[in-house]
Amino acid sequence: MFEDGQYTYSEGTYSYPDMLIGPAIENGDVMIAAAFFFFLVQIVSGPLMKLIAPKAWKTLDTKTKRDEFCVRIVSVVHGISCCNTALIWLTHTPVTSVYERIPGLRIFNAITTGYFLWDLFVCFTQNWGNLYIMHAIISFSGTYLLQMPFCQQWTAFYCGMFEVSPIIIHTATMIRSAGGSATLAYVLEIIFALYFFVVRVCLGWYQAITWGMAILGLWNGSAGEPMRYSYLLAGYLALIHYSLMFLQVKWFGDIVLIALGKGKAPDSPTTREPSASKKARA
């Protein structure tokens, strides 16, 4: 049932239509609108850069460099929207149940799902390879399934605090690629590395552990409330959750090696040239 802008989930155990169709019924218009918005940003970024900063745009002397620049702009725009989610996470009253909604979160979670829908389409159409396509599938499916009232306290963290970091690294990379201040870019890269370690690695693993304890509490009955969610989908969320968290550790190791001059950034998916990696977009 759909009333007052919200899908009415089943009493007791959520049904599979609840979990698989509910988010689309409740937020499908926002997800699709967000995806189209990010496509629009990608399309207009080039002409706007040519109009506003023609010298910087001219520095990007190949189509692939310009395409990558526009993709980075989309990621920055999405990161800015995620500042709202981060603020909600930082200021919300702690929930007493994993099935409780956090006020104000629904729209911003749907926007992030729309972003990963855009990401998935771009990965396929620009042939970014299996790794990037797999990441896009995992990110889209994870954010989609977590739009329903389940584990929103953790969803707000990962869709908020996590997704702010691309603003920093993509801005630094765009400054370098457009011939801007190398010093400013370097400062931003240092800030990004610190943010990545504190938020994505340290705080991220703390959130991952507390989330795992909450799910185990539902499974073994110690949480004081029943397991209303699907064991199968909860297992899938756990798999992708911890896979992405181990990936954060690997990526931070790469950042350290690059800083020590013992490694290099992976090839950009759009240019296949050494540049900052898509890891910041994740």
pLDDT along the chain (282 residues), means of 10: 63 86 93 97 95 92 91 96 96 89 93 96 84 88 91 94 94 93 94 96 96 92 88 92 92 86 58 39 51
Q: How far apart are CA 193 and CA 209, in angstroms?
A: 22
CA 158 to chain centre: 7
Are the beta carbons of 68 and 270 closer than 8 angstroms? yes
* Structural domain span for residue 214: 2-281
Domain count, the chain: 1
At 279 the pLDDT is: 45
At 210 the pLDDT is: 94
What six digits make up the tokens of 192? 């990004």
At 272 the pLDDT is: 34
Q: How many CB atoms lie within 10 A of CB 184?
A: 13
At 51 the pLDDT is: 94
The pTM for the full model equals: 0.88
Burial classification of residue 82, based on how many CB atoms lie within 10 Å of its CB (0-12 exposed, 13-18 middle, 19 or more buried): buried
At 203 the pLDDT is: 96
At 84 the pLDDT is: 96
Are the beta carbons of 102 and 88 closer than 8 angstroms? yes
Are the beta carbons of 147 and 113 closer than 8 angstroms? yes
